[in-house]
């Protein structure tokens, strides 16, 4: 549906051309075709086509970074990105040198074998001494080459380990360790991206904020390990009952917030009600105890007149507060 109308054959042709252009561009520029990367470039190409723009590669990339480049406000995050880039470049350089040295070693070995066969057939003593000396030098060079290759291999493994460690640390900085969902910092960055998309292109989205009811009572009654297990299982519920492109995050102790791309407020209310029903009917088993929990929900929709991501979250939070104040285990939007 486009503006309430059924897609025509011309619409399908138009979209097909965009899909083809996006995939061709991503393949040519060696862009990993992940769902997020494809979605972002598809939006940019739609914008270009809808406005009859003929943009160069550099102009397309400028639009991409203007829309999606993460605005890092902490020096250590900027430094981490620079270090990761240096490590990647260093790893690639060592790979090239290693391949070159390996090829050189093969050539030396082949040359040494030929030389050895020649020496065995030479009768003249003086020439044979010269050839033996050359062969000795070749063997010495081969030994040096092998030592260099071993050193390169050690450096390659160390750099690979450092690269993996850096990426792990960066990932952990954006993930809540208990639930495996995004943490607050990662969520806020993503929400800012969606906010910019709406302001530029009008792409709709809604936000759900939920908070477990009487969570302190669970900790007090069953202990903090039980509380942690409840939070983990709630994280699993959100992963299992939301779409792949929805973005759930743990944004507080027992508070979770979800971005729903392309979803209106009415649809978001239905999503929240489904989640509320699943949670209220879910039982958490802990040390022989059957723990039941409920959650309250506040919903807000991005629309004209909302001036900041914070304003959108405040509206969802106000609705959540109303749900809590008027009986809990309900959805307000």
Q: How many CB atoms lie within 10 A of CB 48?
A: 17
254 is catalytic: yes
Measured in residues, the chain has a length of: 333
Q: In what order do the strands lie in the sheet with 295-301?
A: 247-250, 255-261, 205-212, 295-301, 331-332
312, burial (CB in 10 Å: exposed 0-12, middle 13-18, buried 19+) = buried
Cα distances from 129 to residues 116, 126, 134, 210, in angstroms, run 12, 5, 9, 87
Q: How far apart are CA 85 and CA 83, in angstroms?
A: 5
| DSSP codes of every residue in 225-240 | HHHHHHHHHHHHHHHH
Q: Report CA 104 to chain centroid distance, whole Å.
A: 39
Instruction: Tell me which residue of 314, 265, 320, 313 sits closest to 298, measured CA to CA.
Output: 320
Pick the catalytic residue from 254, 301, 304, 311.
254
Give CA–CA dist 285/146, Å, rounded: 59
Residues known to be catalytic:
254
């Amino acid at each position: 549906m486009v503006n309430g109308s059924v897609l025509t054959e011309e619409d399908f042709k138009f979209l097909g051309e965009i899909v083809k252009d996006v995939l061709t561009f991503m393949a040519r520029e060696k862009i990993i075709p992940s769902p997020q990367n494809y979605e972002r470039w598809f939006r940019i190409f739609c914008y270009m086509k809808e406005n009859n723009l003929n943009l160069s590669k550099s102009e397309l990339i400028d639009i991409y970074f203007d829309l999606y480049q993460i605005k890092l406000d902490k020096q250590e995050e900027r430094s981490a990105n620079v270090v990761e880039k240096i490590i990647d470049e260093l790893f690639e350089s060592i790979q090239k040198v290693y391949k070159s040295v390996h090829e050189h070693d093969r050539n030396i070995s082949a040359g040494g074998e030929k030389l050895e066969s020649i020496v065995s057939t030479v009768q003249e003593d003086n020439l044979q001494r010269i050839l033996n000396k050359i062969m000795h030098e070749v063997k010495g060079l081969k030994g040096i080459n092998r030592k260099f290759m071993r050193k390169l291999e050690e450096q390659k493994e160390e750099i690979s380990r450092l690269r993996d460690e850096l990426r792990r640390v960066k990932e952990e900085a954006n993930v809540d360790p208990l639930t495996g969902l995004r943490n607050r910092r990662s969520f806020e960055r993503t929400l800012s991206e969606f906010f910019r998309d709406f302001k530029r292109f009008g792409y709709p989205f809604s936000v759900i904020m939920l908070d477990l009811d009487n969570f302190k009572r669970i900790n007090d009654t069953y202990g903090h390990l039980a509380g942690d297990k409840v939070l983990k299982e709630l994280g699993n519920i959100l992963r299992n009952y939301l779409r792949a492109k929805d973005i759930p995050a743990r944004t507080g102790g027992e508070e979770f917030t979800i971005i729903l791309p392309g979803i209106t407020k009415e649809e978001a209310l239905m999503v929240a009600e489904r989640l509320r029903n699943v949670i209220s009917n879910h039982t958490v088993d802990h040390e022989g105890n059957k723990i039941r929990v409920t959650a309250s929900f506040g919903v807000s929709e991005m629309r004209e007149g909302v001036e900041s991501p914070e304003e959108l979250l405040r509206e969802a939070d106000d609705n959540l507060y109303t749900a809590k104040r008027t009986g809990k285990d309900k959805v307000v939007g």
